[in-house]
Amino acid sequence: MSEILLSTLNARYAHAAFGLRYLFANLGELQPRAAIAEFDISQRPIDIAEKILAHQPRILGLGVYIWNIAPTTELVGILKRAAPRMTIVLGGPEVSHEYEAQEIVRLADFTITGEADLEFTKLCGQLLRGQRPLINIIQADPPHFNEMRLPYDHYTSDDVAHRVIYVEASRGCPFTCEFCLSSLEVPVRNAPLDAFLAEMEKLLDRGVKQFKFVDRTFNLNIQIGRAILQFFLERIQPGLFVHFEMIPDRLPDPLRELIAQFPDGALQFEVGIQTFNPEVQSLISRRQNNEKTVENLRWLRMQTKVHVHADLIVGLPGESIASFATGFDKLYSIRPQEIQVGMLKRLRGTPIVRHDAPWEMVYSPQAPYEVLSTKLIDFADMCRMRRFARFWDMLANSGRFVHALPLLLNEGSPFANFMRLSEWLWQTTRQTHGIALMRLFELLLKFAKEHQAEWIDHFAHELWKDYRRDGRTDKPSFLAEFELVEEPGERVIARVGSERQSRHRK
């Protein structure tokens, strides 16, 4: 039994709720009266409600995000009927903006907007003393790190063994990209560096090997970025993996010197390109030096062992399919290990809504509020792009086809070539999910036979290399017609970094 229960529905079990641990860490004298109970969106709200009520909490704090808003709304509806005396407090980005018409906000007792690390504790103290606030929407000012306790002690041994460990050295973002909630988070606040690194040391001592930084701009402050890189470089060990998000056009020599020293599999950079179109960048208030961005990406790919995950967005105002294709081809020519093709989402509170009328922006009314059409991309073409993104993730980003897939893309426009494959896959299967891996191998071979018959023998051999990279030794039936000879060392693959990273190594 806990008087205060902190809970949320994670996207999947492996994602530990970072926000809940911050709330718990900052409960102060109320902490012994509190507990954390995490769930995920694969579980039924009625089952989650039963488990929550087994704790018999007086106060339930729920984290609400774009991925869990629908089941969490259902959960709150159940709880308010099953336990009407329990006080439900909402927080999180999905209820921090445009909350007036949200059903979940109407159902709950209180909603804290913004960063609730400290405000939640104040509210709980009032409620437990019988002092119920008169207003149910509470605005939280952004706290400074020196006001908060860091949460890392509250990762459990089970978290360390089985879940992603999220960390942050800063909050906020200095940029004003209109599609992003981070553009509203000002000013940028840095955690006290010595205290933060001491916490990272403790996590390493506990056996944590994979660290995912949620900072939006780890390379904004060069001195801090360099100190963090140096810290992990001095503690390199087998299996150590550190993920950062980086500003693409800011990579000065002091950072390069350290980055170049990291071994294969130790670093991953998520690089938000979003668009290479200068006119679109101007429309959405995105400041990005494209020439410097390309230079930095080429350096990362040619001079380091960093795993580069680069993002592009489909459906930005002013972006046509042709414009997106140009940017995609430019990015593909740099050969980042992963290109994440994402559909634009109209996140609550973001200023991108100012383009709705002039650019005829139409979004789904249901989370995750993906764009349905724009002035330049109609609904049918947006559906084609959504399939393109899904198949790209399935075939390219998975790292399953690092030998065979480039053969289908390298002549002419990679975008046009993959769109042709995407359309063929859709016409052939009418599926974008649930396609078994072996079926994908067969489909790629069939497509190559129909479209690249002149070098099908070479393609079949490269596909066989991909087939055997996970340790398989057999010759599958779909390759039976080909004379395939194993070359020395073909099946050797370095298993360092994450499993997905490893798949990208030829």
Range of the domain at 502: 398-506
Same domain, 130 and 171: no
Q: What is the pLDDT of residue 68?
A: 98
CATH number of the domain to which 190 belongs: 3.80.30.20
Q: Are residues 95 and 190 in the same domain?
A: no
pLDDT, position 188: 87
Could you say which residues of the chain have pLDDT below 50? Answer: 492, 494
Asked which of 318, 345, 377 is the last residue of a domain, the reply is 377
Task: Tally the C-alpha atoms within 13 A of residue 418's C-alpha that lie toward its C-beta.
Answer: 26
Shared domain for 303 and 330, answered yes or no, is yes
Is residue 403 domain-shared with residue 371, that is, in the same domain? no
What is the phi-psi region of residue 290: left when phi exceeds 0, alpha when psi lies from -120 to 50, beta otherwise? alpha
Examine the domain organization and report whether 358 and 469 are in the same domain.
Answer: no
- What confidence score (pLDDT) does residue 167 get? 98
**Does residue 424 form part of some domain?**
yes
Q: Are both 47 and 183 inside the same structural domain?
A: no
Both tokens of 80, joined, read 């308010």
418 and 506 share one domain = yes
Whole-angstrom distance, CA of residue 191 vs CA of residue 145:
5
Same domain as 329, residue 447: no
Q: Do residues 212 and 277 both lie within one domain? A: yes
pLDDT score for 174: 81
- pLDDT number for residue 177: 87
Note the pLDDT tens digit of each residue in 330-350.
999 999 999 999 999 999 999
Boundary residue ending a domain (117, 145, 173):
145
Tokens of 60: 């339930």
With respect to residue 155, please indicate whether it lies within any of the assigned structural domains.
no
pTM recorded for the entire structure? 0.93
In DSSP terms, 475 is beta-bridged to: none
Say how many domains are in the chain: 3
- What is the sign, positive or negative, of the torsion defined by CA atoms of 141, 146, 149, 150? positive
Q: Is residue 227 part of a domain?
A: yes
The answer to whether residue 278 sits within a structural domain is: yes
Residue 186 and residue 72 in one domain = no
Residue 499, pLDDT score? 66
Q: Provide the pLDDT for residue 495.
A: 53
**Can you give the pLDDT at residue 51?**
98
Contact indicator for 385, 315 with CB cutoff of 8 Å:
yes
Give domain status of residue 385, yes or no: no
Domain boundary among 313, 346, 377: 377
Q: 342 and 438 in one domain? A: no
CB 461 within 8 A of CB 297: no
Label residues 431-468 b or e (16+ Cβ within 10 Å = b). ebeeeeeeebbebbbebbeeeeeeebeebbbbbbbbbb
Distance CA 64, CA 73 (A): 9
The CATH number for 110's domain is: 3.40.50.280
Q: Where are the alpha helices (DSSP H) in 267-320?
A: 278-283, 290-303
